[in-house]
Chains A and B, each alone.
Chain A
């Protein structure tokens, strides 16, 4: 079984401030981890993902995330928020092996607001 917990359903930052969106997961096997972003009235698009190898992964639009196995975390960060980053962000997990590997489990999402 696998699950994802996103701490904070709503995060508000000032433009230029650090963005930190938290994600913790549970998985019985080593996971693949993803962050997706959803802009208003649009579908989800992939920001970044961790599969194997380097635990710090860089994505689009200046975002990055670090896989910390000991903390079962995959927090998303960006050094300096931009107004265009305002969106909803979803963390997701799937096993990297096994019969259910086609099923992605999503967190409940974090709405990021960027204030001028």
Chain B
């Protein structure tokens, strides 16, 4: 089974702190994603990476950056945390388009989430 592991389930940080959220997947997936989940807003894409050292902005990248130095690891960075970044953060991964077929086509595998509170 695919496993996507997020390093911290719960974090509490102070305004202005630098925050790292780590995500590791063990199935050799090329594509990795960071979403933010807020009540009534669903999931919104922050950044995604389609391969090592590749990254592309999603719908709400402001205040965030990412790092993908190794294929299995995708990090989300909050350079200076603010209270409006209090949220649930979800990491996901997927096989690259062209390596998928049938049942696997397009399926995202999610981690259990990291709930961040910024005070």
Tell me whether B42 and A43 are in contact (CB under 8 A). no
Tell me whether B50 and A102 are in contact (CB under 8 A). yes
When distances are taken between beta carbons in the complex, the residues of chain B under 8 Å from A49 are 105-107
> How many angstroms from the CA of A36 to the CA of B110 in the assembled complex?
10
Tell me whether A104 and B113 are in contact (CB under 8 A). no
Tell me whether A51 and B113 are in contact (CB under 8 A). no
Tell me whether A34 and B41 are in contact (CB under 8 A). no
When distances are taken between beta carbons in the complex, the residues of chain A under 8 Å from B83 are none
Tell me whether B4 and A43 are in contact (CB under 8 A). yes
Given A101-B97, A109-B42, also A51-B112 (CB < 8 A): no
Give the Cβ gap from B8 to chain A, nearest Cβ, in Å. Answer: 14
Interface residue? A55 (CB, 8 A):
no
Residue of A nearest to B97 (CB): A101
Give the Cβ gap from A77 to chain B, nearest Cβ, in Å. Answer: 21
Q: What would be 15 A-B contacts, judged by CB atoms less than 8 Å apart?
A: A34-B106, A36-B108, A41-B112, A49-B107, A90-B42, A94-B106, A102-B48, A102-B50, A102-B96, A104-B33, A104-B45, A106-B35, A107-B42, A108-B42, A109-B43
